[in-house]
Amino acid sequence: MKWIPIIALLLINIVSCQTSAQIGYKNAPIAQLSKIQKENKAIVIDVRTPEEWKEGVIDGATLFIDYKGNAFEQKIANLDKSKTYIVYCRSGGRSAGASDLMAKNGFNKVINMEGGIMDWKGKIVTKP
């Protein structure tokens, strides 16, 4: 009987490890974006809408693919799957969905920026 709590904890640990491994992408706070981008030579993707891009984008974002747009999957299919991608949106919800979809489509190096542009303290620029 004294082994039941230990076995239960081990099972919980195994299940939680499998769940995080199944995500297929990593999460990181938006404050680490510049550091992660530099260390991984990553490409920053803004997955917000064109209307949101007009309000400004994070300095360093180079790809703009509307996650809710009709052609999101077609556009990511043209990207190099061997590269590292950092994905952000307004608050982190859409970027998590986009990151998940990218992982399901064979991308192995995807980082979802939690908190999105709302939590960003760095430079905001107008989209080129």
Query: Over the stretch 86-112, which tens digit does the pLDDT of each residue have?
Result: 999 999 999 999 999 999 999 999 999
In CATH, what number does 25-125 get? 3.40.250.10
- Counting DSSP H helices and E strands in the chain, the numbers are 6, 7
List C-alpha distances in Å: 66 to 18, 21, 47: 30, 27, 5
For the purposes of burial, counting CB atoms within 10 Å of the CB of 35, is it exposed (0-12), middle (13-18) or buried (19 or more)?
Answer: exposed
Query: Over the stretch 9-37, which tens digit does the pLDDT of each residue have?
Result: 444 444 444 344 457 899 999 999 999 99
How many CA atoms are closer than 13 Å to the CA of 92, on its beta-carbon side?
A: 16
Domain ranges, ordered by start, for the chain: 25-125
Query: Over the stretch 31-57, which tens digit does the pLDDT of each residue have?
Result: 999 999 999 999 999 999 999 999 999
